[in-house]
Amino acid sequence: MTNQSPQILTLRAADGYELAATHYPAPSEQFIVIASATGVPRGFYRRFAEFAQARGVNVVTTDYRGIGESKPATLKGFEMQYADWSTLDLAAAVGYATARGKVWLVGHSLGGHAIGQLPDANVLQAAYVCGAGAGWHGWMPRPERYRVWAMWNVLGPIGTRLYGYHPMSKLGAGEDLPMGVYRDWKRWCALPNYFFDDPEAKAITDKFADVRIPIGAAVSTDDLWAPPASRDAFFKGYANAQVEAIDLQPASLGVQQVGHMGYFRQQTGVTLWPQIFAWLGQHGLR
C-alpha cells in the first residue's frame, strides 16, 4: 500500500487554542492517535505514523500548546497548566478521530499519564504506551537519579528565573517548556506516586478510576526515566483498567539501547512496532 500524503491540520481545543496537527490518511475508519511525550514535537513520531498508515490505519499527531508549531512567539509569560496538554490538546486530537471512526491510542511517557485525564478515556478502544512512569527520581538508577534531582532543584530554578520558562534546549534535553509545565512537572516528580500523591491534583486523579479500557504499559529495562518499578507505581492508579505490564529487553528488540526515547526510533521499531500492532490487534485493531 502506497502511503497518501499527510494532511496538515489546525485543531481547536475546547478553550479555543489552535493546535498544529497532522493526519496520515488511510482508507479505513480506524485511527491511532499518538499521545506525545513532554516537550517532544509531533514530527518525532513520523516514522511510526507512516508504519501504521502503511497498514491501513489513519494516524493523528499533534503538537501540544507551547511545543513545535503550536507554540507562541515567546514562551515568556505564556500561561498554561501541564494538565492542559492532556485535558485540552490531546482531547482535541481524540475528538477529531472519534468523529471519523474507532480510535486506539499509542502513547509515549506523558501519553500514559494523559489517558486518565481525557474527558472520556473510554471512547478509546485500547491504548499501548511506552516509557510511562511515576517520574520520581528515586525510582531511577544511580547516577541518573542524582542528575535528575539536580535538574529539578538546581538547573531548573536558575534557568526559569533567567528566562521565564524552562530552557530545556540549552541543556540538550529537548524543546523549551512553558513555565506552567515546569512548575507542575517538578512538583509531581518529587512524589513517589507522581500526582496521585498530590492532594491538590485530586480533580485529575479522581478520573482515573473511571478508565476501563485495556492498556498495554511497556517499558524498556534500560529506560532510566521509567524503569519497571516506576511504571508499576504509576499504573496502579488505573484501578479499574485492564493494565498489562510489558517489560522490553533491548537485546530482544535487536538494539543495544532503547532508553527513554528509542521506542519510536526506526531501528527499534523494526521489531517493536509489529509487536505494538499485534497487541492492538488483540484489542480490535484490524
Ramachandran region, residue 207 (left: φ > 0; alpha: ψ -120 to 50; beta: rest) = alpha
Res. 160: pLDDT tops 90: yes
Quote the pLDDT of residue 174.
80
At 195-213, the pLDDT tens digits run: 999 999 999 999 999 999 9
pLDDT above 70 covers what percent of the chain?
100
User: Residue 44 domain-assigned?
Assistant: yes
pLDDT above 90 covers what percent of the chain?
96
- In this prediction, residue 173 has a pLDDT band, given cuts at 50, 70 and 90, of confident
Mean pLDDT of the chain: 97
User: Residue 1 domain-assigned?
Assistant: no
The CATH number linked to 104 is 3.40.50.1820
- In this prediction, residue 45 has a pLDDT band, given cuts at 50, 70 and 90, of very high
- In this prediction, residue 38 has a pLDDT band, given cuts at 50, 70 and 90, of very high
Q: Which structural domain range is residue 38 located in?
A: 7-135+201-281
What's the whole-model pTM score?
0.96
User: Residue 249 domain-assigned?
Assistant: yes
User: Residue 245 domain-assigned?
Assistant: yes
- In this prediction, residue 1 has a pLDDT band, given cuts at 50, 70 and 90, of low
User: Residue 171 domain-assigned?
Assistant: no
Domain count, the chain: 1
User: Residue 190 domain-assigned?
Assistant: no
- In this prediction, residue 2 has a pLDDT band, given cuts at 50, 70 and 90, of confident
User: Residue 183 domain-assigned?
Assistant: no
Res. 126: pLDDT tops 80: yes
User: Residue 177 domain-assigned?
Assistant: no
Mean pLDDT of 280-286: 97
Q: How many helices (H) and strands (E) are present in the chain, helices listed first?
A: 10, 8
